[in-house]
Structures are given as structure tokens and as C-alpha cells.
Amino acid sequence: MPDKPLRKLGFLTIGLFDEADPAAGHESTLQIIELGERLGFDSAWLRHRHFQFGISSPVAVMAAASQRTRRIELGTAVTPLGWENPVRLAEDWATVDVLTGGRLNGGVSVGPPMRWDTVKGALYPDTAETEDLTYGRVERLIAAVRGDELTDGTAVEGFEQFSNRVQPHSPGLAGRLWYGGAGLTSVTWAGEHGLNLLTSSVVYAEESEDFAEIQLSHVRAFRAAHPDGDAARVSQGLVVIPTDSATPEQVTKYQAYAEKRMPRTTQPNGPKRVMFAPDLVGTSAEIAERLYAHAAFREIDEVAFALPFTFTHDDYVQILTDIATHLGPALGWKPTS
């Protein structure tokens, strides 16, 4: 068993919806977040999808969820920062953090957005070739969230009063910024800049072709670079599907889902040598045993288990209920009342 029990248990959803009825899918996501709070989960995380049938505006969904929950933390895992103006995003996140009473966790990544050649003309028709898609974009976000002075204009003009920093300012938000890293360079950079680390079911096969070994090296490199050292926060986001209370039909569907995705986990994929973790399907006892054997899991005490993309609302209810009532306790976690 790991040296310490699981301290924080979260889940991650894409917020799937039907193009013909997007309201129903968004309502389902909000209900799932409410269920997560009732079950004692510590956090709910939203993926970020553009020109797809998943959540394109996590900040709007988190704002809605803030009015239907009181305790559960809300996060993005992750917001691709190439789509965002860092100052505007800082305003949105600070506003939601105020609305939630300090429960927002902002996760980001940088680099060219997915399908960059396809979307850049719509996103940045005049500036696509000059946009800074490097870590500098994250540094601008950090400065804005931290409350650095970004302007030097006059504080009062006529009847209007102005601030030289982003408003509202939420003092604790800067400590709840996360970076989604898949390679040694990015996780080291995140550590050096004092961010928290989101490590998922995707890594780059740079020094090995064993997923767990690669992820372990990322956790250790991040903490070695971080001012907090071994106390630096890392959250692991594997796809976990417990079957304790699943119907036979659900079990069959879950196993087929995992089997279809298994071939991509056996070797590096594409020029970036992307490695994927296998989906974990089985009883909570079986999944716990596999997690205890996972080299990276043994060194973390926070998780945000990813829900599969294509399942139904009832499936998510069953999976989350089993995670909270069976798998979490098997990992030493205690629900928050």
C-alpha cells in the first residue's frame, strides 16, 4: 500500500451533450457535480472542448455550479491557454472564485491549440502568426491572478474609478493554479514557477516506454523543482471505472470501451511519442490493487479520476457512487461531510 492514504478525491468530466439538445447535457453535468458534493467528493473538474460536443465554457458551467453547491471545489483540467486572453481569463476565474467562496482551481496548458491550422483563422484572424503560445502566456495569467499591477493609468477619471490590477481580486486563487504537464520540460517548468501539477492518463515517452515509470519521473522532477519540495501538490487523473453496483449490461459496455482503447496503450503513438494509460475497469478491490501497484500513484495523495467520454447519465451516477462508497475508502479516503 502507499505510504499515506488518499487525501483528496475528485472526478473529471467532459460534459458531453447532444448538438440538437445542448441544454440537457449541461443540466446533466450540473446534476453530476451536485451528486459529487452529496457523495463527499472533494473536487469536480471540467475538461475544455472547442468545436466539439463537450463543455466549451467551463467558467460558465462552474458559475452555474457555484449556485447549486456549497462545498465541492470546481476546476478546469485543463483550459488550453492558446484559446484565452490571460487577463480576461483571470477576471472570469476571480469572479467565479468569489461566487464559490474560494473553491475554484484553474488548470491550464500551453502550446498551439488542437487542430491549430484549422481554427487559427477563426480564433486569431490577424495575429495567429504572432500570438505567444509559450509559457509566457501562463506567466501573464499568473501575474493577473496574483494581483500584480498591470496598468499605470490614472486611478480616477471624472466620476469613474479604476484599478491597476484585475478585479475582483481573490487572494487565495493564485495558490490554486494548476498546470497540466505531459513531459519533463513542462512539469519542471511548473515546479519552478510554484504551480500545482495535474498529471493525467497521457504522457510523453521521453525516458521510458513504461507509463507508470514515466509518470513517476514527472512527479519527482516537478517536486524537485518546486519551492515546496515533496509537499508540492500533484493530482493524478487516470480513467477509473468501478463495477461494484453496475448491471451486467453496464459491465459489458465498460469492458468493451476499455478493450477498444487498449491498443493505444501498448506503445508510443505518433511523432510526439504519446503514451496512454490503460483504463481501469473492475471491482473497487481490483482497481485498488492495481493502483497500489502503480509507481506514480504510490507517491501522490490526490486524484481526479476521469469519467469516460461517451457514457450515459445513469452510468456516471453508478460510477461516481461506487468510487465514493467503495473505491475511495479502499484507498484510505474519507468523504467530506
* DSSP letters spanning 227-265: TTGGGS-EEEE-BEEE-TT--HHHHHHHHHHHHHHGGGG
- From its phi and psi, is residue 6 left (phi > 0), alpha (psi between -120 and 50) or beta? beta
Q: Which three cell numbers stand for residue 75?
A: 476546476
Q: Single out the residue of 288, 296, 116 nearest to residue 197, CA to CA.
A: 296
pLDDT tens-digit series, residues 281-336 = 999 999 999 999 999 999 999 999 999 999 999 999 999 999 999 999 999 999 97
Q: Quick one: fold of 8-151+166-330?
A: TIM Barrel (3.20.20)
> Do residues 13 and 29 touch, judged by C-beta distance below 8 A?
yes
Report how far residue 198's alpha carbon sits from residue 173's, in angstroms, rounded to the nearest whole number.
16
Cell 507508470 sits at which residue? Answer: 212
> Do residues 314 and 233 touch, judged by C-beta distance below 8 A?
no
pLDDT tens-digit series, residues 208-256 = 999 999 999 999 999 999 999 999 999 999 999 999 999 999 999 999 9
Report how far residue 238's alpha carbon sits from residue 303's, in angstroms, rounded to the nearest whole number.
8
pLDDT at 153: 75
Percentage of the chain lying above the pLDDT 70 cut: 99
Indicate if the pLDDT at residue 57 is higher than 70: yes
pLDDT band at 2 (very low <50, low <70, confident <90, very high): low
In 10 A of CB 151, how many CB atoms?
A: 12
pLDDT at 287: 98
The DSSP symbol for 198 reads E
pLDDT at 154: 75
pLDDT at 193: 98
Burial 61-97 (b: 16+ CB within 10 A, else e): bbbbbbeebeebbbbbbbbbbbebebeebbbbbbbbb
Distances in Å between the Cα of 262 and the Cα atoms of 18, 211, 277 are: 26, 13, 9
User: Is this model's pTM higher than 0.95 or not?
Assistant: yes
Q: Burial, 182: exposed, middle or buried (Cβ in 10 Å; 0-12, 13-18, 19+)?
A: buried
Report how far residue 45's alpha carbon sits from residue 304's, in angstroms, rounded to the nearest whole number.
7
pLDDT band at 4 (very low <50, low <70, confident <90, very high): confident
Report how far residue 79's alpha carbon sits from residue 63's, in angstroms, rounded to the nearest whole number.
16
pLDDT tens-digit series, residues 135-181 = 999 999 999 999 999 998 778 989 999 999 999 999 999 999 999 99
Indicate if the pLDDT at residue 264 is higher than 70: yes
